[in-house]
Amino acid sequence: MVISSESGTASVLWLRIAALALVVAGLGLPINDVFRYALLLLATVPIFVGRVSNRPSAWLTAFGLVTLAVTAQMSWPAPRIDEGHNVFIVDGRSLALAQDLPADAFRQMSAEFDERYPPDSRCGLQSDYCWRKGGFPDRPYAFSADGIYDRAAYSRRVTGIDFSDPVWLRLGFINEAQYNWSGTSDLQRGKRNPQWNVLHPWQLTMPYFVMVRFPADFVGSQLCWQGLVLWEGAGERFAAWQQPEFACRPIEGGDIGRRIFGVSIAAPLAIRLVPTMSMRLRQLVEPGLALLAAGAVLMLLVRWRPRQLALPFTFIGLSLLVVLLNDASFIGGVRPFDGGDDGLVYEGMARSIVQHALNGDFAKALEGGEKVFYYGGPGLRYFRAAEHFIFGDTFLGYLSLMLLLPFVVFAALRRFLNAHSSLALTLIFIAIPIGAVFGTTYFQYLKWAARGFADPAAATMFIAGLVALAGATTSGPNRRFAPAFGAGLLFAATIWLRPNLAPGAGILLGGAGIAALWQGQIGRVAGLCLGFLPVLGMALHNWIYGGVFVLFSANATIPEALPMAPSAWVAALSELLRLDLTGEHVQRGIWQIAQWLAGPWSFLALIPLHAAAIIVLVRVALWGRRFDPWLRLTAGAMLAQHPVALFYLPYNRYYYLAWLLTALVCAVWLRDEGGPLLQQRFLRGAEWLGRHPLRMWLGRVLDWWTRVTGLAR
């Protein structure tokens, strides 16, 4: 991202953060709808690329206007509809639903459930991931992160109802840990729709209900639905309205305060509220005031040139397009995570952390669902918990991190390459999937982020840490404490998210620390050490809660995670010494190496290409005095990171980052050494390529982009 020249100082960074905090205050928490999230994006870019004012009068005026807007939102809020929702499963043990839901509504929903899932056809308790073995609702209405700040009587309070797809209704409870169903279970969590169904990529198959209760302000409005609705009448009796097509009914005075259940068990459910005109106008007040608050902060505190916004918004626009094509629900919806997947585990733990924190049980919240960390990314549960406090029942926090990824990739490329090359490679990274060969395509990271895995978040933190460590320009880092502290903190966060990235992070931090000591930069050394210190929090957690010393997570050493443990390599060496080339361990070792060198695409034909890339790493790290020392250190870090694949599980997502930074080193090597050698060897081909119309056109396009965005300076 292009930023103004004064952006490196700590005071300017804090001014930017303060301006962003004012915008967030004006938007209100949680930011859980697409409109306010779009405002947040539109405000964040100018704040971080422009010049933020330090005039007290401007800040006082902006603060006053935001305060006025917030006060007006609180004084004239749109009328709220009480909403309660939950999964509906009964098997003789759903006591919370049976005891606390209205008896008539529960009876009718139970009959619907038994008809759809007959007792004699349900999965057996001996089956893995059977829903009958898991947990059942412990309250009549599920917890919703949307209601954190609202003291909702049920799950949350909303200003309107309009859904035909429960993924966009944001039912956070579907990803609670006790609903970890998959495999042989007759009751499934959800399934992926055909790829062409872009806006509705997921079909929720979990049985659920949504209850709404209207205040008097909605008299005269119409409630329209398709599916089964139970409408409360006198004496807590519920009339069943089953509509195969959309039908509407007016909300009358007698309906106020009574409960209306929408039920999705045997058939899909869609509900739309058609408010009166006066209600429509009242519903526009809060988003209108949020828009005015964000606009006031930008107009009063931020100055920018239009050309500064071109590149950031291009990156964001292309990234959102890839998100939309991969999984549109990532933009403000809640998809059902796959049973048995890491995403469901981390999200379930995060929801538990939030609820413990809201109940004041901070010790239980910090425990994070495990006395000794077992799953491989301990930090993601805490990130997702923080995400719910800011973004409610959405995944917009992780989306924000993924929108940041192209910027940190561009910054890393810009550190070692010229403006043309870094811009071209970043655009390829975002938009052209040819990089899948080398783990350098955005959609690979996005796919796993949308599934709720920690690897893409860790990659973003790692690359950001590299840029902070090496400096954003070829002049290298300065000796100040703050940037070094930030770099150390980013690498600590990386290891909290993915401990298997510790070798690469250790080499980078160790090399930087030794260089700083050699040059007498004590402040920088202190910053690196103190910033990285939180990495010990994992061991401290395991000692306090579990009473054992486990440095990161307990699953790192289980046999299932190490298909080729060090002892297996010793056995393979013994077989080789006996010339037993068909030995079990030799064969396993060959296959482990082949899977590593097949790369992120798992294509064995690419083994020579990836082997050549490893040779380039060795060349740059050990005999590359002509190269930037920070590039050599990066190559060395990747030489430490790649051998993890010789021991650990060969899942592609574990190694995307290593291959991405390997590609960066190879790109610099091609520019400085490999390219000239190839030109000498294939002179005629190089001349033809240099005169090719497409190459010349691309050069002109990149020239224009670098001029427009200011990268040429």
289-311 pLDDT per residue, tens: 999 999 999 999 999 988 889 89
3-class DSSP state for residue 201?
coil
* DSSP code at position 148: T
List pLDDT tens digits, range 126-145.
777 788 887 899 999 999 99
* DSSP code at position 128: T
Of 499, 430, 507, 513, whose CA–CA distance to 458 is shortest? 499
Of the chain, the percentage scoring pLDDT greater than 70 comes to: 93
Match 């549109």 to its residue by tokens: 328
User: Is residue 6 scored above 50 in pLDDT?
Assistant: no
- 543-556 average pLDDT score: 89
Alpha-carbon distance 430 to 670, whole Å? Answer: 22
- Report the alpha-carbon angle 240-217-389, nearest 5: 85
CA trace torsion 128, 130, 134, 140 (10° rounding): 170
Cβ atoms 167, 197 nearer than 8 A: no
Tell me the sheet residues that pair with 272.
162, 224
Of 135, 145, 393, 104, whose CA–CA distance to 263 is shortest? 104
Of 621, 653, 650, 596, whose CA–CA distance to 507 is shortest? 621
pLDDT at position 256, please? Answer: 95
Alpha-carbon distance 282 to 73, whole Å? Answer: 11
Q: Give Rg (Cα) of the chain.
A: 28
pLDDT at position 5, please? Answer: 35
User: Is residue 187 scored above 80 in pLDDT?
Assistant: yes
User: Is residue 2 scored above 70 in pLDDT?
Assistant: no
Using DSSP bridges, classify how beta strands 81-87 and 270-274 pair: parallel, antiparallel or unpaired. unpaired
- 7-11 average pLDDT score: 57
pLDDT at position 709, please? Answer: 66
What's the whole-model pTM score? 0.93
* DSSP code at position 554: G
Residues in Cβ contact with 131 at an 8 Å cutoff, skipping those fewer than 6 apart: 89, 123, 179, 181, 185, 186, 187
Instruction: Give phi and psi for 305, each to the nearest 5.
Output: -100, 140
For the ranges 557-566, 640-649, 695-704, the lowest mean pLDDT is seen at 695-704
For the ranges 16-20, 361-365, 573-577, the lowest mean pLDDT is seen at 573-577
- 102-128 average pLDDT score: 89
User: Helices 629-641 & 455-470, crossing angle to 10 degrees?
Assistant: 150
List pLDDT tens digits, range 569-588.
899 999 888 888 888 889 99
| Helix, strand and coil in the chain, % to nearest 5 | 65, 10, 30
Tokens at 600, concatenated: 């992120």
List, in sequence order, every beta strand (DSSP E) within 276-388. Answer: 302-303
User: Is residue 7 scored above 50 in pLDDT?
Assistant: no
User: Is residue 688 scored above 90 in pLDDT?
Assistant: no
Tokens at 507, concatenated: 């080499």
Instruction: Give phi and psi for 687, each to the nearest 5.
Output: -65, -40
Of 567, 649, 600, whose CA–CA distance to 437 is shortest? 600
Higher pLDDT, 32 or 581: 32
Band of pLDDT at residue 277, cut at 50, 70 and 90: very high
pLDDT at position 125, please? Answer: 78
Alpha-carbon distance 88 to 635, whole Å? Answer: 54
Three-state secondary structure along 257-279? CCEEEEEECCCCCEEEEECCHHH
Band of pLDDT at residue 687, cut at 50, 70 and 90: low
- 168-188 average pLDDT score: 88
- 675-687 average pLDDT score: 66
Residues in Cβ contact with 172 at an 8 Å cutoff, skipping those fewer than 6 apart: 142, 143, 144, 145, 146, 334, 351, 388, 393
Cβ atoms 208, 172 nearer than 8 A: no
- 246-273 average pLDDT score: 94
Residues in Cβ contact with 422 at an 8 Å cutoff, skipping those fewer than 6 apart: 410, 413, 414
Residues in Cβ contact with 89 at an 8 Å cutoff, skipping those fewer than 6 apart: 113, 131, 136, 137, 187, 207
Band of pLDDT at residue 559, cut at 50, 70 and 90: confident
Cβ atoms 451, 344 nearer than 8 A: no
User: Is residue 704 scored above 80 in pLDDT?
Assistant: no
Alpha-carbon distance 179 to 187, whole Å? Answer: 10
Of the chain, the percentage scoring pLDDT greater than 90 comes to: 68
User: Is residue 680 scored above 50 in pLDDT?
Assistant: yes
pLDDT at position 377, please? Answer: 82
- Determine which helix (DSSP H) or strand (DSSP E) holds 461, and give its type and residue range: helix 455-470
List pLDDT tens digits, range 610-649.
999 999 999 999 988 889 999 999 999 999 999 999 988 8
- In angstroms, the Cα distances linking 194 to 206, 325, 335, 572 are 19, 12, 15, 46
Band of pLDDT at residue 121, cut at 50, 70 and 90: confident
For the ranges 447-456, 584-593, 679-688, the lowest mean pLDDT is seen at 679-688
For the ranges 103-112, 186-195, 200-209, 268-277, the lowest mean pLDDT is seen at 186-195
pLDDT at position 565, please? Answer: 86
pLDDT at position 650, please? Answer: 80
List pLDDT tens digits, range 147-167.
999 888 999 999 999 999 999
User: Is residue 603 scored above 90 in pLDDT?
Assistant: no
Alpha-carbon distance 83 to 296, whole Å? Answer: 33
Alpha-carbon distance 116 to 333, whole Å? Answer: 27
- Tallying the residues shown for the chain, one arrives at 713
Burial class of residue 176 in the structure, from the number of CB atoms within 10 Å of its CB (0-12 exposed, 13-18 middle, 19+ buried): buried
pLDDT at position 133, please? Answer: 81
Cβ atoms 526, 537 nearer than 8 A: no
Three-state secondary structure along 383-431? HHHHHHHHHCCCCHHHHHHHHHHHHHHHHHHHHHCCHHHHHHHHHHHHH
List pLDDT tens digits, range 217-236.
999 999 999 999 999 999 89
For 565, left (φ over 0), alpha (ψ -120 to 50), or beta? beta
Average pLDDT for the chain: 90
- Report the alpha-carbon angle 517-522-528, nearest 5: 85
Cβ atoms 109, 209 nearer than 8 A: yes
Cβ atoms 290, 73 nearer than 8 A: yes
